[in-house]
Amino acid sequence: MKISIGADHAGFSLKEKLRARLAAEGHEVVDYGTNSPESVDYPDYAQPVSRDVAGGRADRGILVCSTGIGMAMAANKVHGVRAAPAQSDDEVRFTREHNDANVLTLGAKYLDEERAMHLIGIFLNTEFIGGRHARRVAKIAQLEQPQ
């Protein structure tokens, strides 16, 4: 699977570990930085990851910041992205099954490497179930259209 990944300074350390582990598992990983713990602005990293996913250049995206919330807000500004912050197995599973999320945002403040990789495994291996949920996801896409 091709995965675009990015982080701000708060997520830098965890992102580095996740990138290496995902590559070791055989995924093609495109890393948009940041490349140090120096303070940066998270939208600058959410944007290229989100554009890769929305444009079909990546199968999924992973973004890491302190809480996962800021990255989700920034990523969801890109048409075609359904980003969700999640910390529990159920949240990750349902965001894939019911919402067809294509970007997972993680909070480095709350997750260690093992827990984050566990959640990413659920994210990458859970399929969208469609059905009544497809109608709802289509309505989300309509909300993205300019008025």
Task: Let me know if 79 is a catalytic residue.
Answer: no
- Give 52-88 pLDDT, tens digit per residue: 999 999 999 999 999 999 999 999 999 999 999 999 9
What's the start-to-end Cα distance of the chain, in Å?
35
Alpha-carbon span 95 to 102, nearest angstrom: 9
Q: How high is the pLDDT of residue 147?
A: 55
- The answer to whether the pTM exceeds 0.75 is yes
Could you give the C-alpha distances from 33 to 36, 39, 42, 57, in angstroms and in order? 8, 12, 10, 17
User: The domain spanning residue 61 has which CATH number?
Assistant: 3.40.1400.10
What pLDDT, on a 0 to 100 scale, did the predictor assign at position 49? 98
Determine what percent of the chain is predicted with pLDDT higher than 90: 89
**Of 27, 79, 98, 133, catalytic:** 98
Count of the separate structural domains present in the chain: 1
Report the pLDDT value the prediction gives residue 107, as an integer from 0 to 100: 98
Give the strand order in the sheet containing 83-85.
28-31, 2-7, 60-65, 103-107, 83-85
Alpha carbon distance 51, 20 (integer Å): 22
User: Is 65 considered catalytic here?
Assistant: yes
Domain limits for position 27: 2-143
Mean pLDDT across 105-133: 96
- Tokens representing 22 are 């995902």
